[in-house]
Structure 1
Amino acid sequence: MDVSRKKKWVAWAVAAAIFVVLMLVTPAIPQDEAYHDFADQRTLFLGIPNTLNVISNIPFFFVGVTGLILCHFNNYFRLSSQGELWSWTLFFAGVTAVGFGSSYYHLNPNDATLVWDRLPMTIAFTSVMAIFIIERVDDRAGAKSLAPLVIAGALSIMYWRHFDDLRPYAVVQFVPCIALPVMAIVIPPMYTHSSYWLWAAGFYLLAKVEEAADKTIYNWTHQIVSGHTLKHLCAAMVPVFLALMLAKRTTEPERISLLQKWKTSWVAVRERRFKDSSTVDVDCGYAVVSSISEQ
């Protein structure tokens, strides 16, 4: 076994060991039944209960289907390997399924229907993790990690449903939220336009804030729109930015991390400011001296 493969196995073993330790030393996290008590429970039209929370999932469907088509129609996204193709296909399939699963859940919010909301989200999260490994670490390792990651995500949902313990699901959901932005900044990308990852992460963070402030936003807007409805719309912007990134990006000629680019830009700005501050404007007055002596 070569050194690089050994390091990869060590990394996976360390990650598994950390997960096991966390499961042993932390208490179970049961599903809070108050989670299903959303601020906006109005039936506005067509007899759809929780109308805005249901129909605000429609963008997921359209963005997901568009992404699937562009992945496979003449390879519009210019995906360079089978690992990339499968990973992005599963990502956009998960986004599409969120449109159905989350709508189904919000028609009748309870633990049983929540499974169909969370399952497609885990498919999207875990697919993105595999994509990052492909792009930032190693193509083959990322492709091989896709199936185990997706299966682990599905198992976290099953574990929660049968044992009423959200710890594995929390790991699946929140570890990518921390790891992906860090990897996007620190590890040199394979492609250009990698800053789109940060835009996507920013919209996802905003969506989580809106989810937490569901009732507060509903009151602030005088019961026009709730935080959870806005959460759906902001979360749908994540695949929008990633699809735009795929459409625009090309192979990076020089693999330089965003962190290194920021450092270079910061140094250039500091040097420019230093030069500007050290420049002294000198006004020179010239006098005309006649070389002809007065007679």
Structure 2
Amino acid sequence: MSARRALLAVFAIVAIALGFAGPIPQPVDYHAFADTRTLLGVPYAMDVLSNLPFLGAGLWLLFAARAWQRSAHPGAAALALAGVACMLTGLGSGYYHWAPANWGLLWDRLPIGVTAVALLAVLLAEHVDARWGRPLPLALLTLAALASSVYWYLSAGWGAEDLRPYLLAQFSPMLALLVLAPGMRGGLLPRAAWLLAAGGYALAKVSEVLDDRIFHWSAELIAGHTLKHLFAALALCALAAWAHRAARPD
């Protein structure tokens, strides 16, 4: 089976499974973070300030995208989109954590979804079909990601909260990587780079789930959600560093 058909099959199976699963609501205590300390007038200071690395990661991705553009790499535009969305994630997440509520979370999830599908496009453009890096596929993926976050927010207001489309958008690069990794060869972002980033993101999600426990285990030094931000930003920095270094002339 070709990579293209395998991807189509996996995404179709996941979409059908999500359809049968029914609406997936957000946990009722989602906004109850472990670390509520205020620092220099900044509420939830650690969760707010730990978003700053996303600004650096996004800028690094933009530098890498510029280097890719010089060599007419098909994934350059997608990588640039990921950089911009990553920086907006830092701002949106900081805004949300200043006063945790669904409205702020919407502005957190909007750029997260776009970052995810932009990275999906980078992966596909380099390892499946260069056309995934073109403006039309990028625009459609971006609109789908934005719509998934808006749908979640509206569904919460309707009393039938549903995260399914957003979850599919957020984890789309991971799904694609599961399919493509065994056969990936070469590229400016090879299999090792993607697996390294995926490992960092996995650590981020585990830290998120263990928010309270990590806060307790660390004697209230740092909470899991703060670590989530740091691990996710490090994963993006790893991709950016690899992409930038690989594109530089010898």
Give the TM-score band, short-chain normalised: 0.7 to 0.9
Matching residue of 1:63: 57
Distance 1:146-1:184 versus aligned 2 partners, 3 A rule: farther
Match of 1:115 in 2: 106
Going from structure 1 to structure 2, the CA distance change for 1:17 and 1:196 (only over 3 Å counts) comes to: closer
| Counterpart amino acid of residue 66 in structure 1 | W
- In structure 1, the partner of 2:188 is 191
Question: Measured at CA, do residues 53 and 192 of structure 1 come closer, stay the same or move farther in structure 2, by a change above 3 Å?
Answer: closer
Residues 39/15 of structure 1: CA separation in 2 closer, same or farther (3 Å cut) = same
In the alignment, residue 225 of structure 1 is paired with which amino acid? Answer: I
Q: Which has the higher contact order (CA 8 A, sep 6+)?
A: 2
TM-score (norm 1): 0.74
Quick one: structure 1 residues 13 and 224, their matched pair in 2 at CA, closer, same or farther if it must change by over 3 Å?
A: closer
Query: Among residues 238, 244, 247, which one is paired with 2:244 in the alignment?
Result: 247
CA distance 1:222–1:154, change in 2 (3 Å): same
Runs (5+) with no aligned partner, structure 1: 252-295
Match of 2:20 in 1: 25
Of 12-21 and 202-211, the range deviating more from structure 2: 12-21
Match of 1:228 in 2: 225
Q: Which of the residues 149, 153, 158 maps onto 1:161?
A: 153
SS of 1:39's partner is coil
Kindly provide the CA deviation profile for residues 161-207 of structure 1, in whole angstroms up to 9, marking residues without a partner as x.
11121011111122322322542342323336541211111111011
Aligned 1:139-218 pairs, distance under 5 A: 139-143=130-134, 144-163=136-155, 164-191=161-188, 194-218=191-215
TM-score under structure 2 length normalisation: 0.86
1:62 Cα deviation from its structure 2 partner: 1.8
Aligned length: 241
In 2, distance between residues paired with 1:15 and 1:155? Answer: 22
**Does the CA contact (< 8 Å) of 1:123 and 1:153 recur in 2?**
yes
The amino acid of 1:54's aligned partner reads: V
Sort the Cα spacing of 1:53 and 1:20 in 2 relative to 1 into closer, same or farther, 3 A. Answer: closer
- Report Cα offsets for 1:253-286 as digits up to 9, x if no partner: xxxxxxxxxxxxxxxxxxxxxxxxxxxxxxxxxx
1:41 aligned counterpart, secondary structure: coil
Per-residue deviation, 1:212:
0.6
Q: 1:155 to 1:96 in 2, by over 3 A?
A: same
Gaps of 5+ in 2: 156-160
Q: Which moved more, 1:183-192 or 1:60-69?
A: 183-192
| Alignment partners' CA distance in 1, 2:12 and 2:230 | 37
Specify the code of the residue in structure 2 equivalent to 1:231: K
1:97-119, CA deviations, whole angstroms, 9 ceiling, x for partnerless residues? 11100000000111111011111
Q: Is the 8 A contact 1:181 1:198 kept in 2?
A: no
The aligned amino acid for 1:149 is L
What CA distance in whole angstroms lies between the structure 1 residues aligned with 2:133 and 2:69? 18
Contact 2:49–2:94 (CA under 8 A) maintained in structure 1: yes
Letter paired with 2:40:
L
- Aligned counterparts of 2:121 and 2:133: Cα–Cα separation in 1: 5
Distance 1:194 1:111, change over 3 A: same
Deviates more, 1:110-119 or 1:145-154: 145-154
Q: Note the alpha carbon deviations across 1:29-51, whole angstroms, 9 max, x for none.
A: 122230110000011x2211000
- C-alpha change, 1:20 and 1:218, in structure 2 (3 Å) is closer
Q: Which of 70, 77, 96 is residue 87 of structure 2 equivalent to?
A: 96
Q: Answer yes or no: is the 8 Å Cα contact 2:106–2:149 preserved in 1.
A: yes
Secondary structure of the 1:32 match is coil
Larger Rg: 1
1:172 and 1:193 map into 2 onto residues whose CA distance is 22
- What's the counterpart of residue 34 of structure 1? 29
What amino acid is the match of 1:107? Answer: W
CA distance in 2, matches of 1:115, 1:129: 21
Q: Which residue of 2 aligns with 1:128?
A: 119
